[in-house]
């Protein structure tokens, strides 16, 4: 009986201990993990939103002084319009629970942030409000790429209509194809953080805009860029690229979406290191390539800046799937591509003032392909996605800009262009008196 | 006996398992939760401190070139003075454990960061050092709002005295009324992250300063703003607003103060999304309102910028208590208010160069009222707090600036004002040679 | 027997509960702690990398307009070159598992990020990829300090060679002495986040460069600074210092390396508060000291900015070891030192355009000594480390720059210098047309 008593006592002690344990574990590891995942996604969203400042500084610095206010205005309106329309419509198309028609073409979950998307809190689950915030930051990134390409000649109302279209409909639809679980996703297309889904969409929309609207007056009268169209502050542009680089640590590592556990941490940190290496390699490659190609052999800061961005765009699709050394190779190739892409546009007399297409369009597609070449993803699927999504963005935006042009709503008058949009559209000037 | 043996064996196994369990749980979920809460508050504090860069860029961009060095100098001195005085005095008044006199008017916990405030580490508990850092960032926000309003004419020593007063005494006292558990808190006044407690205090201090010091020479000789007083870089101002928007993700979500558990995560993420939506809505509303009111119907970037800030200020008090749609409405109304507030100041010939009062004062009060209208908090308490705190800040700062004026310490001479404070106070100029 | 049965039942229930418990704890507190530690280090690395933008803005703002593009170019190349070379070589020298020769002089772990450094995931363990990212951000900080000191006269190729040397070899070797577990570490030298290991290395490399290359043409013909050599934008420089201040919250608190548990949180938060207090104190002290020394008694923004940085550099070694009040004292002394250091360079006719040596060199050494004076670390060891590391950096870089000078690769021609490096090296100009 003594044994029985000991056993009973042991049992009771253990029951009590278990009960205490249970009470103390109302904060369970799962809930802390859930909290950490969501908080890190929030911080990542903040970093991605910070890229808006980077794009604004880059584009303003690379535009002539008399269009600086206009560029800044466009950068703010595309963000404000984008936030509201992606809230009301875009998010629901891109991540809605219903697949309209069942063809994997678009979703729908009602207006606003669908709270039915909520799942019980637990490790790896994301709160709908922060999920929306992270996604709207991506939509705003795609949207803001165009403004730099069309500097100095697009009417403000055309730009606002464009912003509405891309954030409410164009980006969400092709976004659904991949990240909403649509047909490209089902075919095995891999685009980890959006070389194609985000950057190529913005870059090819920019190309469409630049083609339809035509070059600025005087842009291709000279062999070199017309001096009065040159950017007014490479220092501001440089700060913009530093900010973009920083923001990319939200864009790429944040796209891991879950941040607890060995596998998630290993992935997140590989992604962060690869992003860094590719950006650095892109900058070096573009600097050397452009210097070799220039007859003066001078080193262009503009090209270095675009090379860094090219490397970052290029690694975005495959940052989770390649080794450090492969990331460097992907970045180097992106840095070479961006230089030749810029030359190509110049040859074709397409006026893309900030190099939006070479950086985001061309290197976005490169990123999609590189994921197949280096990242052990199916090269056919990668090629398909890397062609179809840019084609979608280019076609629909080409059509949209063409319609605006037919309605006389696309381009400002010659007089207005020569005066500069700051005075014309805003009555405010950069540089004070 | 066999059963007994099994039971005994079972008990022993479980005791061993329990012991192992206990050893492994020296890192308990509570401690990880405690760590996460404190780390997120640290990162939030960093984001709020980043707003100092935003305010500096906004104010410098919106001031004429010959006062840029002076504005930057003031933005650094108010931060440095504020950090030291909030450390020595302000924090202890605002969050001190003792309620001096028992009337809920101010606390006191001794000089420096009171380590007696320390509680045993555990979920939801904040370390005093990071609590201080988060709070000093808020105090610095309230303090820095004034510098833009008085650009071009306030003596440096007056500004330093003002900085000392507001961070050591004025802001901590009214802060105690709400956040230190004082009388307004006891009456049910709700101000989640400080529309009233922080922004309206800064905004009404700015109004007091602008009234007492009077307008700049030439400011109201013309229907429109005198061109030589116009801001010298809207690009810099725009970058400042982007930075402020980013910093607000520390300001509002960070004010949740605890970040583990389902309820905290749900609150934090709702706050972040609401902040985003209100800022975007404020920008759109101010853009449209100012365009409709302007006889040229041009779109003012300055107004768009202030509209974004108005939306952010407006949602700050209620970001935890309203739905996404309500956040948009609050932001829209703030965006309209900021335009009319600016016109009102112009009508009254009060020279508030950057719109500190319309943005932080008027929309701060709006934020306090909106919390009652939309956020299911008592409207009477909200109205009381939204009147009393601004009144306190306005009265005490009006009196202080008036005293400085009587002592000849407030305003620079006419000659100095026309020369610009950069040369006069610093012997340094913006723009190089 | 009833008791036995109860006991048996109890045992079974507990076994089941234990089993369930174990299953649910696949996400253990250890793994969440491991995840949090690594994520916070990633975010700290991002903040430290953001300092690159701060240095770029500070140096560009403090350089004349015709060298702005060049400064930005150098800031990007040192980052890109540094990232790649610290990846291939530097990291392995600094943190390699093998101590070459056993003398504590340098390590080696092979090219790239040594995955053998991986340890099983668990609380306090860092993933090699994020460890590398954090460390490369520090290497880039040391490297970028020099560019401002040699503004306007160093050939681009010389700067690129310098960048390669410091990030691949010089910084990693002395870094190994302390942070890789080398001889200085074994002698008890304490440098928490790198007052000496990072800042003094950069600062003394800058001094070597400034001495070997000599002053800019016209720099010491006048009592005061030649106006055409003055910085072109103190606003940009100010934004740079705000950004640096923000980045320091990655630099210092991030160096705690582990962020879970009471002790780690207490340390991290003390570090963050001390960093803030020392920066503020440094700014105030430099502002007052420079005003008292100036015959005009004007308040110099440049000196205030350098004072803030001086305080931040000064506290970096001891931020974990001193009280809040001691941090203020360390910051105040740093703020005084930076003013006298600048005067000393002027007296010696050494042209350090941005004050790289007074800020990072002199106050870096001060930080090392202050750790002995205030921080309860052995003053002898502190003095030894604070002399030997700067001496190493100065000697090796002096020799390197001297060799480059002998080969005619160090300084641009007189004509090129007078034209400005933007045109000469890049064919691009700041300020547009």
Query: Which pLDDT belongs to residue A9?
Result: 56
Among B32, B247, B420, the residue to mutate for chain C (most C Cβ within 10 A): B32
Query: Do residue B113 and residue C273 have CB atoms under 8 angstroms apart?
Result: yes
The residue assigned the tokens 């685009």 is A191
Q: pLDDT band for position B225 (50/70/90)? A: low
Query: Which pLDDT belongs to residue C107?
Result: 87
Average pLDDT, whole number, for chain C? Answer: 91
Higher pLDDT, A110 or B409: B409
* Host H or E run for residue B108: strand B107-108
Mean pLDDT score, C317-331? 98
Residue A294 scores a pLDDT above 60: yes
Average pLDDT, whole number, for chain B? Answer: 91
Out of A120-129, A317-326, C389-398, pick the least confident.
Answer: A120-129
Residue B12 scores a pLDDT above 80: no
Q: pLDDT band for position A18 (50/70/90)? A: very low
The whole-angstrom separation of Cα C178 and Cα C135 is: 13
Mean pLDDT score, B69-86? 97
Query: Which pLDDT belongs to residue C346?
Result: 93
The whole-angstrom separation of Cα C355 and Cα C305 is: 10
Residue B271 scores a pLDDT above 80: yes
Nearest to A306 by CA among A319, A321, A289: A289
Mean pLDDT score, B382-399? 98
C281 contacts in chain B (CB < 8 Å)? 80, 84
Q: How many cross-chain Cβ pairs, B to C, lie less than 8 Å apart?
A: 204
- Our CA-based measurement puts residue A295 at a distance from the nearest CA of chain C, in whole angstroms, of 12
Q: pLDDT band for position C220 (50/70/90)? A: confident
Determine contact, residues A417/A216, Cβ cutoff 8 Å.
yes
* Chain centroid, CA A189 distance in Å: 18
Residues 6+ apart with CB under 8 A from A101: none
Determine contact, residues C142/C201, Cβ cutoff 8 Å.
yes
Q: pLDDT band for position B17 (50/70/90)? A: low
Residues 6+ apart with CB under 8 A from C120: none
Q: pLDDT band for position B10 (50/70/90)? A: low
Tens digit of each residue's pLDDT (9 = 90 or more) over C45-58: 999 999 999 999 99
Instruction: Tell me whether residue B290 is exposed, middle or buried, using C-beta atoms within 10 angstroms of its C-beta: 0 to 12, 13 to 18, 19 or more.
Output: buried
Sign of CA dihedral A336, A339, A340, A342: positive
Q: pLDDT band for position C228 (50/70/90)? A: confident
Query: Do residue B299 and residue A52 have CB atoms under 8 angstroms apart?
Result: no
Q: Considering only the beta carbons, identify the residue of A1, A246, A277 that sits closest to C50.
A: A246
Mean pLDDT score, B393-408? 98
Using the 8-state DSSP alphabet, how is residue C168 labeled? I
Determine contact, residues B409/B155, Cβ cutoff 8 Å.
yes
Tens digit of each residue's pLDDT (9 = 90 or more) over C265-312: 999 999 999 999 999 999 999 999 999 998 888 999 999 999 999 999
- Report the chain C residue with the minimal C-alpha distance to residue B2: C4
Q: Tell me the β-bridge partners of C121.
A: none
C24 contacts in chain A (CB < 8 Å)? 28, 30
Give φ, ψ of A299 to 5 degrees.
-100, 115
Q: pLDDT band for position A400 (50/70/90)? A: very high
How many other C-beta atoms can be found within 10 angstroms of the C-beta atom of residue B199? 33
How many other C-beta atoms can be found within 10 angstroms of the C-beta atom of residue B121? 18
Determine contact, residues B37/B129, Cβ cutoff 8 Å.
no
The residue assigned the tokens 């016209």 is C218
Residue A20 scores a pLDDT above 80: no
Q: Considering only the beta carbons, identify the residue of A4, A47, A265 that sits closest to C3.
A: A4
Q: pLDDT band for position A56 (50/70/90)? A: very high
Q: How many helices (H) and strands (E) does chain C have?
A: 18, 2
The whole-angstrom separation of Cα A150 and Cα A405 is: 14
C6 contacts in chain B (CB < 8 Å)? none
Query: Which pLDDT belongs to residue C118?
Result: 57
Q: Where are the alpha helices (DSSP H) in A86-200?
A: 91-95, 128-149, 156-165, 171-178, 183-186
Residue B269 scores a pLDDT above 50: yes
- Residue B316: helix, strand or coil by DSSP? coil
Tens digit of each residue's pLDDT (9 = 90 or more) over B228-255: 788 899 999 999 999 999 999 999 999 9
Neighbours of chain B (3+ CB pairs under 8 A): A, C
Q: pLDDT band for position A96 (50/70/90)? A: confident
Sign of CA dihedral C356, C362, C363, C367: positive
Mean pLDDT score, B197-205? 98
Mean pLDDT score, C139-150? 94
Tens digit of each residue's pLDDT (9 = 90 or more) over C373-382: 998 899 999 9
Cα three-residue angle B276-B279-B284, rounded to 5 degrees = 125
Determine contact, residues C186/C103, Cβ cutoff 8 Å.
no
C73 contacts in chain A (CB < 8 Å)? 299, 301, 304
| Separation in Å, CA B63 to CA B26, B58, B309, C381 | 56, 9, 18, 51
Query: Do residue A69 and residue B234 have CB atoms under 8 angstroms apart?
Result: yes
Cα pseudo-dihedral B250, B252, B253, B256, rounded to 10: 120
Tens digit of each residue's pLDDT (9 = 90 or more) over A322-351: 999 999 999 999 999 999 999 999 999 999
The residue assigned the tokens 């002027």 is C346
Query: Which pLDDT belongs to residue B281?
Result: 98
Determine contact, residues A409/A157, Cβ cutoff 8 Å.
yes
- Our CA-based measurement puts residue B54 at a distance from the nearest CA of chain C, in whole angstroms, of 9
Residue C97 scores a pLDDT above 70: yes
Tell how strand A98-99 and strand A107-108 pair up: antiparallel
- Our CA-based measurement puts residue A372 at a distance from the nearest CA of chain C, in whole angstroms, of 23
Instruction: Tell me whether residue A103 is exposed, middle or buried, using C-beta atoms within 10 angstroms of its C-beta: 0 to 12, 13 to 18, 19 or more.
Output: exposed
The residue assigned the tokens 């941490």 is A265
Query: Which pLDDT belongs to residue C1?
Result: 47
Q: pLDDT band for position B20 (50/70/90)? A: very low
Residue A226 scores a pLDDT above 80: no
pTM (global) more than 0.80: yes
The residue assigned the tokens 């050394």 is A325
Q: pLDDT band for position A223 (50/70/90)? A: low
Nearest to C427 by CA among B115, A351, A225: A225
The whole-angstrom separation of Cα C180 and Cα C164 is: 20
Residues 6+ apart with CB under 8 A from B290: B299, B300, B303, B304, B307, B339
Instruction: Tell me whether residue C241 is exposed, middle or buried, using C-beta atoms within 10 angstroms of its C-beta: 0 to 12, 13 to 18, 19 or more.
Output: buried
Query: Which pLDDT belongs to residue A98?
Result: 80
* Chain centroid, CA C192 distance in Å: 12
Sign of CA dihedral B417, B419, B424, B430: positive
Give φ, ψ of A108 to 5 degrees.
-160, 130
C308 contacts in chain B (CB < 8 Å)? 76, 80
Query: Which pLDDT belongs to residue B124?
Result: 76
Residue C13 scores a pLDDT above 60: no
The whole-angstrom separation of Cα B198 and Cα B55 is: 14
Q: Where are the alpha helices (DSSP H) in C320-378?
A: 324-347, 356, 363-373
Residue A309 half-sphere exposure toward CB, CA atoms < 13 A: 33
The whole-angstrom separation of Cα A209 and Cα A410 is: 10
- Residue A108: helix, strand or coil by DSSP? strand
C253 contacts in chain B (CB < 8 Å)? 42
Q: Which residue spans within A52-110 are E strands per DSSP?
A: 98-99, 107-108
Query: Do residue A127 and residue B266 have CB atoms under 8 angstroms apart?
Result: yes
Q: Where are the alpha helices (DSSP H) in C103-233?
A: 128-149, 156-165, 171-178, 183-186, 201-213
| Separation in Å, CA A309 to CA A58, A76, A279, B88, B310 | 11, 21, 7, 46, 33
Tens digit of each residue's pLDDT (9 = 90 or more) over B101-121: 778 888 888 888 876 555 677
Query: Which pLDDT belongs to residue C5?
Result: 54
% of chain C surpassing 70 pLDDT? 91
The residue assigned the tokens 């015959």 is C295
Mean pLDDT score, B353-376? 96
The whole-angstrom separation of Cα B417 and Cα B155 is: 10
Query: Which pLDDT belongs to residue A216?
Result: 94
Q: Considering only the beta carbons, identify the residue of B27, B42, B76 that sits closest to C123.
A: B27
Query: Which pLDDT belongs to residue C101?
Result: 77
Residue C340 scores a pLDDT above 80: yes
C12 contacts in chain B (CB < 8 Å)? 10
Q: Considering only the beta carbons, identify the residue of A21, A24, A87 that sits closest to B277.
A: A87
Instruction: Tell me whether residue A97 is exposed, middle or buried, using C-beta atoms within 10 angstroms of its C-beta: 0 to 12, 13 to 18, 19 or more.
Output: middle
In the numeric block, which tokens belong to residue C281?
């104190």
Query: Do residue B238 and residue A75 have CB atoms under 8 angstroms apart?
Result: yes
| Separation in Å, CA C124 to CA B124, C36, C38, C119 | 22, 9, 8, 10
The whole-angstrom separation of Cα B76 and Cα B80 is: 6
Query: Which pLDDT belongs to residue A16?
Result: 52
| Separation in Å, CA A14 to CA A141, A394, B19 | 56, 67, 11
Q: How many cross-chain Cβ pairs, A to C, lie less than 8 Å apart?
A: 204
Residues 6+ apart with CB under 8 A from B372: B378, B379, B380, B381, B382, B383
* Host H or E run for residue B160: helix B156-165
- Between helix B363-373 and helix B201-213 the angle, nearest 10°, is 150
């Amino acid at each position: 009986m003594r044994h029985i008593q000991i056993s009973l006592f042991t049992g009771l002690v253990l029951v009590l201990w278990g009960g205490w344990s249970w009470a103390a574990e109302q904060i369970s590891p799962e809930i802390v993990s859930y909290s950490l995942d969501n908080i890190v996604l929030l911080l990542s969203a903040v970093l991605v939103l910070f890229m808006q400042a980077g794009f604004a500084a880059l584009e303003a610095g690379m535009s002539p002084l008399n269009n600086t206010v206009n560029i800044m205005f466009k950068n703010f309106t595309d963000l404000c319009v984008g936030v509201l329309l992606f809230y009301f419509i875009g998010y629901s198309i891109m991540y809605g629970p219903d697949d309209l028609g069942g063809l994997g073409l678009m979703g729908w979950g009602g207006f606003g942030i669908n709270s039915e998307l909520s799942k019980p809190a637990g490790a790896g689950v994301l709160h709908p409000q922060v999920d929306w915030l992270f996604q709207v930051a991506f939509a705003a990134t795609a949207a803001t790429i165009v403004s730099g390409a069309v500097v100095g000649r697009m009417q403000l109302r055309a730009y606002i209509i464009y912003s509405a279209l891309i954030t409410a409909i164009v980006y969400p639809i092709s976004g659904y194809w991949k990240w909403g679980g649509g047909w490209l996703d089902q075919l095995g297309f891999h685009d980890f953080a959006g070389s194609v889904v985000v950057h190529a969409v913005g870059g090819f929309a920019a190309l469409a805009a630049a083609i339809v609207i035509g070059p600025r007056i005087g842009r291709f009268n000279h062999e070199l860029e017309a001096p009065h169209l040159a950017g007014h502050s490479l220092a501001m542009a440089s700060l913009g690229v530093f900010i973009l680089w920083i923001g990319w640590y939200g864009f790429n590592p944040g796209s891991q979406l879950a941040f607890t556990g060995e596998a998630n941490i290993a992935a997140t940190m590989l992604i962060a290191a690869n992003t860094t290496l590719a950006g650095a390699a892109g900058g070096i490659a573009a600097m050397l390539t452009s210097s070799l190609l220039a007859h003066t052999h001078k080193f262009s800061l503009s090209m270095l800046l675009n090379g860094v961005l090219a490397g970052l765009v290029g690694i975005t699709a495959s940052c989770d799937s390649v080794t450090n050394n492969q990331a460097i190779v992907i970045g180097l190739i992106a840095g070479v591509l961006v230089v030749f892409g810029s030359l190509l546009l110049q040859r074709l007399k397409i006026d893309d003032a900030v190099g939006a297409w070479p950086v985001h369009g061309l290197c976005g597609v490169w990123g999609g392909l590189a994921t197949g070449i280096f990242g052990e993803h199916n090269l056919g699927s990668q090629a398909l996605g890397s062609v179809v999504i840019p084609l979608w963005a280019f076609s629909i935006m080409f059509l949209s800009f063409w319609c605006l042009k037919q309605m006389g709503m696309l381009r400002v008058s010659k007089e207005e262009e020569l005066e500069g949009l700051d005075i014309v559209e805003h009555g405010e000037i950069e540089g004070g008196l």
